Chains A and B, each alone.
Chain A
Amino acid sequence: MSNHASTSAISVRNLWQVFGPNPDKIVGSPDAALPRAELRAKTGNTAAVRDVSFDVAPGEVFVVMGLSGSGKSTLVRCLTRLIEPTAGSVIIDGEDILKANDAHLRDLRRTKFSMVFQNFGLLPHRKVIDNIAFALEINGVKKELRHERAREVIDLVGLQGFEQAFPEQLSGGMQQRVGLARALAVDPEVLFLDEPFSALDPLIRRDMQTEVIRLHKELGKTMVFITHDLDEALKLGDRIAIMRDGAVVQMGTAEELIANPADEYVADFTRDIPKSHVLTVRSIARPHSANEPTSDQQIEASTVIRDATATVLNSTGPVTVVENGTSLGVITATDILRVIGAGAHQ
C-alpha cells in the first residue's frame, strides 16, 4: 500500500461518507455491511460512500461513473474535502489531505488541485478574465500577473476575445470553458471534474469531450472525471470505476468492463455498447488451426476490433495478432463478424 502511494498521484483507501445522526459509529460496525435501505431503517444513517479504495497514476484519466444517487458526486467532494469524509485516507502527491488543517487545506486547494463543476459555478458579477483569475486573486497574486496568467489559459481553452464578457453573455459550452480555464489557471497537479458536461447539449458535449482529450494530451494533468454517461466514460477514461449505492462495483479499463462485467448491474450498463468499439483483437485471438491457410498479415494486439475490420476482411487468410513481436494467435473475418453480429442481436 505504501509503495502504491509513492507511485500514485492519488491514493484513496477505505473511504467512507455516512450522513445521519451518528456517522462515526457505523464505520467498522457490522451495520456497515447492511444494504443502504436497511441501514437507514435501522440507524437513520445513509452511507453515501462506502469503503472506496483506488489509485490514480500520474497523468491518468480516472473516470468514476454511476447513476444519480450512486455516491459519485459525494465521492469527488470527499476527495477535496468539500464534504468531510467519515473515515479513510486520501493521499494526494504523498500527503493525506484528510489530516490537513484548515489553513493547509486552503493552501492545497489553491495550488495542488482544482475542480470543475456541473453547474459551472461561475461568479456572475465578474468578467470572464476575473473569473479565471479568481483563484490567483484570493492567493494574493498581483493584478498584472494574474491577468497575464489568465490570458494564457484563455488562449489554451479557446476563449480569445471573450475576456471582458460576463458569464451570462456566454453559451453553456463557453461558460464551461471558463470553468475549465479557471481550474487550470493555478496549474494544479490534479483536476477533479464533477459531471462537467451533463448540463450541455449533446453536440456541445462532444466538442467539450474532445477539448478535454486535447488538453490532457497537451498538459498531461491527472484527472478524476465524474460522469453518468458511459459513452463519455469510455471515450475519456484510461480506467473506469463503476459505483452503485456508494460502493465501487467494478474498476478497470473499458475493455475489461465490457469483456467481463462483474455483475448484472455492470452488464446492464455495458449492454448497449457495441463490443467491437471497445474490445481489442487480443480478446478474440485464437490458436492457428491446422486446416487453415497460413497467415500472411499481422496486426497489433491493442487494436480495437472495429479498426481491425478493414485489414482482416481484405486479407485472404487469417491475420496474426502480435504483441511486442510475438504472436498471440490469429483472427479471421468470421471471428470479427461474430463479435459485431453478437452486438446486433442484443
Chain B
Amino acid sequence: MSADQEVILPTKRTINRGWILGGILVAWIAAGRAMHGKFTYVLATYDDTRMSARVDVWAKMIRGHRDAPIFIYFFNPIRHFIDTFVSLIRSIISQPLEGSSIPVFGWLGVLALIGFIVYATSNLKTSLLAMALTFGCGAMGLWTDSMDTLALTIAAVVLSLAIGLPLGVWAGLSDRVLKLLTPILDLAQILPTLVYLAPLALVFMIGPPAATIATMVYCIPIAIRITAFGIRGVPTSPVEASTSMGTTTTQKLLKVQLPMASRTIVLGVNQTMLAAMSFAVIATLIGAPGLGKPVINALIVRDVGNGIVAGLAVVFLAIMLDRSTSAIVAKRDSFIPPSDVSVRNRRIGLAVGGVGTIVAMVLSRSVPFAAYFPEGASIAKPVAKVADTSVNWVVENMQILTTGLNHAITIGILNPMESLLTGSPWFVTGLAITGISFVLGGIRSAIVTATLLLAIVATGLWQDTMVTFTQTIVATLLTMGVGVVLGVWIGRSTRADQVLRPFLDAAQVLPAFVYLIPMLGFFGPSRFTGIATGIIYSIPIVVKIVGQGIREVPTNMTEAAISAGSTKWQLITKVQLPAAKNSLLLATNQGLIFVLAVVVIGGLVGSGGLGYLVILGGAKPELQGKGLVAGLAILLLGVMIDRIAQFAVRRNSAPKH
C-alpha cells in the first residue's frame, strides 16, 4: 500500500521526509534545552546498576563453581583440547620445549618452512615476499611474539575451518540450514570484536585457550558465510547436467560443486585467516600471547615509537598471510594447467627448495645463529626513534592537522552532539531516535528501535551508550564525507581506482589496533583519537562500496544526462549519486558497524563510553559485571544501528521494482 503511494508521489515524500527530520531535530534540541541534565542516568565509573550488580553475582558464581558438571564434562574438555592444540603449534614455532631454549625449529627453520609452504601453494615471488615479511617481524625485535601470534592464528584457523567449512557446505546445499544459520551469521557481522572477549574469558578462563576460542567464535561465521556463498554460486547448468547423468548427492558434491566452488572457498580461507590474525591481536586482552602485548602496552603507556614498531610487525604478519593465501586464489583463476616445461621447472624448484628447507630446519636445531634470531638484525630501536621523531615533528609543526583538527571536531561537532544525546532526558533522546528511525525505515524500524532503546535503558548504562553512540555518529558522518568524495572519484575514474585500490586493499587487511597507535601519537588520549581511528579504519570499505555503486549506474543514464548538457557537477549530484543511493545507504551501514567496532576499542586511549567499561571490566574483578553489561549494551547499540540502516535500505529499494 505504502509502496504504491511512493511510486505515485516520490518527490512529495522526499520533501516531507526532510521537513520531518528537521522538525524532530528542532523539537529534540528544544526539549533537551528545557530539561537539560534531568533524567539522564548519569553513572560514575565505579557505580553498579541493578543489572550489572546482578550480572556481577552471576559472574562470581560461575567463577566459584569451576567444578560444576557443565565445566567438568563440557567447557573444560574443550578448553583442554584447544590448549593442547595451541601449545603443540607454539612448541613447533614459538615457545621453547621443556629442557630446551628453542622451539622445535629455530627462526631460520621456521622462515624456510614458511617460504617452502608458500612456494608449494603459489609461486616463488610470493614465497620470497612472505619470507621477507616474516624476517621483518624478527627485525622489529619481535620474533617470538610474532610466532606466537602466528601459532594462535594457525590454531584458530585450522579449528575454525574444521567447523566452518562443513557447516558452510551444508548451508550451501540446504535452504533450511541456511535459514537457520542466517540470523547468527548476521549478528556475528554486527558484533564488535571487543564484545566477544569477556563472556568467553568468564567461561574458559583467561589464557591462550580462551583467546583461541574467542578467535574461533569470530572466524567461524566468516568461514561459513563464504563457503555457503561459494557452493551457492556454482553455476546451475553443470549441476543440473550432472543430476541428469545420474550422480548421487555425494558424487555431485565431490566431483562438481566443491571443485567449482574451490576458488571462493580458498578466498574464504584467506578471509578467515585475516580475521583470525586481527582478532588474535585484540585477544591479548584475555590472555592471547603474541604481538597484542607490545601493542597494548604501548597504548597504555603512550609509547608511540615502540607501539609503531609492534604495529609494523602486525602489519608484516598480516600482509604475509594475506599475500600467501590470495596468491592461491589468483592461481585458481583458471582451471587450465601450466605447460609441461613449467611443470618440470616447478618440480626442480620444489626439490631444491625442499632440500634447502630441510637443511635450514636441521641447522636451526643445532647452530645458534640459525636458532636464535640475530640481535644484530634487529632495527627496532632506530625504527622506534624515527617513528617517535616523525610523530613529534608532525604534532609540533602541523598543529592545524593534529591539535587543531582535534579541537575543531571536538568543539564544533562532538561536544554539541554529545550534550544533545546525553544531556537531554532519556525519554526525549529515545523518542527523537525512534522518530528518526520511523522517518528513515518505517513503522517496523521504529518499533525495533524503541524496543532496543528500552533494553539499553534497562542495562542502566544509558549515559555511556549515548557517549559511544555520539562518537559513532560523528565518526560515521566524517567517514561518509571523505568516503563519498573518494568513492565518487574511483567510481568515475579508472585511473583513480588503480591508484587507490592497492591502498584500500592493504588497509582492509590490517587490524584496527594498528591504526590506533599513530592516531594516539597525533591526537593524544582523547575521544577524537578513537573517532579518527574509526574513520581511518572504515574509509576503505565505504570508498569501495560507493565506488562500486557509482560504477554500476547504467551508462545510458549518464549518457542521457551528458547529451542533455549536464555539467560534471550536475551529473554527479543529479544522476550518479541519486542512482547510487542504495550503495550510499549500504556504505553508511557498513561504515557505522566498522566505526562502532573501533570506537569501543578507543576506550583504551581515553574515548570513554562503553568500550572503556568493557576494558575496565576485564582488568578489574570488581567491575566485571559492569563490563559484561557494557558489552551487552554495545551489542544492543550495534543491532539498533544495523536494523535502522537495513530498514532504510529496504524501504528505499522497495518502490524501484
**Residues of chain A at the chain B interface (Cβ within 8 Å):** 80, 82, 105-110, 114-115, 117-125, 134-135, 137-139, 166, 168-169, 179, 182, 186, 192
Q: How far is the CA of A108 from the CA of B243 in the complex (A)?
A: 12
Q: Does B246 contact A (CB under 8 A)?
A: yes
Residues of B within 8 A of A186 (CB): 245
A123–B237 alpha-carbon span in the complex (Å):
9
Chain B residues in the interface with A (C-beta under 8 A): 235, 237-248, 251, 255-256, 259-260, 262, 334-336
- Residues from chain B with a CB closer than 8 A to the CB of A105 are 246
Q: List 28 A-B contacts (CB under 8 A).
A: A109-B244, A109-B245, A109-B246, A115-B244, A117-B244, A119-B237, A121-B237, A121-B238, A121-B242, A122-B238, A123-B238, A123-B255, A123-B259, A125-B259, A125-B260, A134-B245, A135-B245, A138-B247, A138-B251, A139-B246, A166-B335, A166-B336, A168-B334, A168-B335, A168-B336, A182-B241, A182-B245, A186-B245
A138 touches B237 (CB 8 A): no
B246 and A106 form a contact (CB under 8 A): yes
Least Cβ–Cβ distance between A148 and chain B, in angstroms: 19
How far apart sit A137 and B248, CA to CA, in the bound complex (Å)? 12
Which of A109, A115, A123, A179 counts the most chain B CB atoms within 10 A? Answer: A123
Q: Using Cβ atoms and an 8 Å threshold, which residues of chain B touch A110?
A: 245-246
CA distance A179 to B247 in the complex (A): 16
CB neighbours (8 Å) of B244 from chain A are 80, 82, 109, 114-115, 117, 192
Task: Contacts A106-B246, A108-B246 known; list 6 others, CB within 8 Å.
Answer: A109-B243, A115-B244, A134-B245, A135-B246, A139-B246, A166-B336
User: Which B residues lie within 8 Å of A138 (CB)?
Assistant: 242, 245-248, 251, 255
User: Would you give the shortest CB distance from A318 to chain B, in whole angstroms?
Assistant: 54
Check A123–B245 contact: CB distance below 8 A: no
Identify B248's interface contact among A106, A115, A125, CB under 8 A. Answer: A106
State A124–B334 Cα separation when bound (angstroms).
Answer: 9
Question: Shortest CB–CB separation between residue A89 and chain B, in angstroms?
Answer: 20
Distance, CA A191 to CA B243, complexed state (A): 15
Measured CB to CB, the closest approach of chain B to A119, in angstroms, equals 4
Residue contact A125 to B245, C-beta cutoff 8 Å: no
A-B CB proximity, top 6 nearest: A121-B241, A109-B246, A110-B246, A121-B237, A119-B237, A106-B246
Residue of B nearest to A83 (CB): B240
How far apart are the CA atoms of A313 and B259 in the complex, in Å? 64
Q: Which of B240, B246, B248, B256 contacts A123 (CB 8 A)?
A: B256
Are B242 and A134 in contact (CB-based, < 8 A)?
yes
| Residue of B whose beta carbon sits closest to that of A113 | B244
B255 to chain A, nearest CB (A): 7
Residues in chain A near residue B255, CB distance under 8 A: 123, 134, 137-138
Q: Is the CB of A120 within 8 A of B240?
A: no
Chain B residues with CB under 8 Å of A124's CB are 238, 260, 335
Residues of the B chain whose Cβ atoms lie less than 8 Å from the Cβ of A114 = 244-245
User: Known: A123-B256, A168-B334. Is A82-B248 also a contact (CB below 8 A)?
Assistant: no
A134 to B243 alpha-carbon distance, docked (Å): 11
A139 to B245, CA, bound (A): 9
Cα A123 to Cα B255 in complex, Å, equals 9
Complex formed: what's the CA distance from A120 to B238 in Å? 8
